[in-house]
Amino acid sequence: MFLIIGLGNPEKQYEKTFHNLGFLAAGDCAELLHAKFKKKECEAIVAEGNLKGEKIIIARPLTYMNASGRAVKQLMARYKAGPKELIVIYDDHDLPKGHVRVRPSGSAGTHNGMRSVIAETGLSDFARIRIGIRDEEVDIPLINYVLSEVKKEDYPLFTDACHRAAEAALAIAAGEKFDLVMTKYNG
């Protein structure tokens, strides 16, 4: 069993913002597994799929980004998932736009959603897949930037990055060696 969680904000007004790239990647995971987001539980909307005989739970927290950890903690308890079964996908301003970075563990960096996940779960040794959003040409406060809409000309770049992030998450869930997943998808 794997728990794949895409971080974002639940309201429609945030749908096309940088902070919702985790939600979009979670949607790509569900699509690849032919799963639908049908039920609400543990302060999240959840899709359930199957990959090589493994149950895969894909979730989008409904707690808003800065309280994502509440939903993650509840989902981990509900599905009896440990850190080795958890994969979190999220946007990251520390990476250039469109880059994907897969890591087996780490810190929250500048990301408040990840700070919440680490604080609530008490864990940092779980897989994370970061989608880079930093644009060197944009000079506005980070809080304004992450809640701004992705520029139309950048849609293809971010659509591709979200899809690669989803593929990386499913590769991990399918049991591919972590080093190989990092080699294939990082960059």
pLDDT attached to residue 106? 87
What value does the mean pLDDT take over residues 118-125?
Answer: 95
Q: Residue 144 above 80 pLDDT?
A: no
pLDDT attached to residue 179? 94
Q: pLDDT band at 28, cuts 50/70/90?
A: very high
What would be the CATH architecture of the domain defined by 2-185?
3-Layer(aba) Sandwich (3.40)
Whole-Å CA distances, 171 to 3, 103, 154: 13, 13, 26
Question: What residues contact residue 30 under an 8 Å CB cut-off, 6+ apart?
Answer: 36, 37, 47, 49, 58
pLDDT attached to residue 94? 87
- Which positions are catalytic? 19
